[in-house]
Amino acid sequence: MIADLQCVVLDCPEPVELAVFYRSLLGGTVNQPDRRWALSDAWATLHTASGAVLAFQRVTPYRPPAWPDPARPQQLHLDFGVADLDHAEEQVLAQGATVLDAGRDGRSWRIYADPAGHPFGLVRH
C-alpha cells in the first residue's frame, strides 16, 4: 500500500456553495479545520457524517460536464495521503504515473496522472 484516500475533489465555480449542497445530501461540516488543507475562496471541504471528505476546487472559467459527452467529461480528482512524498512519488512513478506538478516549492502536495491520464494528488499527512 502506497497511500490512504484523503478526499475526492470536484471542480466547480463556487466551492462553498457546492459544499453546502452536498452537506444537505450527506450531512457533515463545511470547512471544518483540518491540517491537511488550507481553506480559501478557491477551496472548500465537506467532512461528511460518515467520515468521508469531499473537497471543492474553484476552476475559472468553469465548464460543467455534459453527460455522457466525452468532449466535456467528468471533473474530479482523487487525493491520497502519504507520510513521505518523495518515497510515494518513486512508487507511483514505478507503477506508471507521470508527474504533472512536481510541487518542489515546499508545498505539502504534488499532482500526477495515472496511466490513462486522470489527475491525482499525493498529500503529505
pLDDT tens-digit series, residues 64-86: 888 889 898 888 888 999 999 99
Residue 86 has which C-alpha cell?
518523495
Could you tell me which residues come within 8 angstroms of residue 96 by beta carbon, excluding any fewer than 6 positions away? 114, 115
What percent of the chain has a predicted confidence (pLDDT) above 70?
100
Please check the confidence at residue 93 and state whether its pLDDT lies above 90: yes
Q: What's the CA gap between 59 and 80, in Å, rounded?
A: 21
Q: What is the mean pLDDT of the chain?
A: 92
Q: What is the pLDDT of residue 115?
A: 83
Please check the confidence at residue 116 and state whether its pLDDT lies above 80: no
Mean pLDDT of 47-74: 91
Q: Which domains does the chain have, with CATH numbers?
A: 4-124 (3.10.180.10)
Mean pLDDT of 28-47: 94
Q: Which residues of 72-82 are buried (b: 16+ CB within 10 A; e: fewer)?
A: eeeebbebbbb
Please check the confidence at residue 37 and state whether its pLDDT lies above 90: no
